Amino acid sequence: MAQLLIFAFIGIMWVLILAGGGILVTLVSKISISGYGDHLDFFIASIIKAVIALVLVVFWVLVLTKLKNKIFQKQIRA
């Protein structure tokens, strides 16, 4: 049973990776800034994208931690 749960956890991680990529491509990569000059616009947009990407990674880790606790609760307690 514990081994089946590990396979399930890998499957969930796979889906989360694909979904996370989707959010980055469809939403985050579209962000653009204008009005500060070409170089500054690009720089500010890059910083905003980087911050959002980092927040997404932290969120992803938190989701995984919650899932890990839920899926492996019995095993971890044991």
Partner 1 sequence: MQDYIIAGLVSSAIAFFVVFGLVPSLIKSLNKKNWAVKDVNRIGGAMVPRPGGPVILVGIIVSEISLYFLLPQQINTRGLVALLITTSIAFVVGFIDDRRVMSGWFKPLALMGAAIPIIALGAYEPNLAFPLFGEVKIPALYLGLILFMIPITGNTINSIDVMNGIASGFVMIASFSLAIVLFILQNYTVAIMTLPIAFASLAFYRYHKFPARIFPGDSGALVLGAAYGTIAIIGRVEVIAAIALLPAIINSFLFLSSVKRIVEHRQVKGPTIHTDDHKITTTKESNAPITLVRLIVASKPLTEKEIGFTIFRLAIFSGILAIITAIISGVQIWPSS
Residue 3 touches partner 1, criterion: CB under 8 A: yes
DSSP 71: H
The mark string for 15-44 relative to partner 1 (x by CB under 8 A, - otherwise) is --xx--xx-xxx-xxx--------------
Give which of 66, 14, 10 is closest to 76, Cα–Cα: 66
CA distance 8 to 14: 10
CB of 35 to partner 1, least distance (A): 20
Contacts of 44 (CB under 8 A, 6+ apart): 33, 36
Longest dimension (CA), the chain: 59
The smaller minimum CB distance to partner 1, of residues 18 and 37, is found at 18
Which residues of this chain interact with partner 1, rule CB under 8 A?
1-3, 5-7, 9-11, 13-14, 17-18, 21-22, 24-26, 28-30, 46, 49-50, 53, 61, 64-65, 68, 72, 74-76, 78
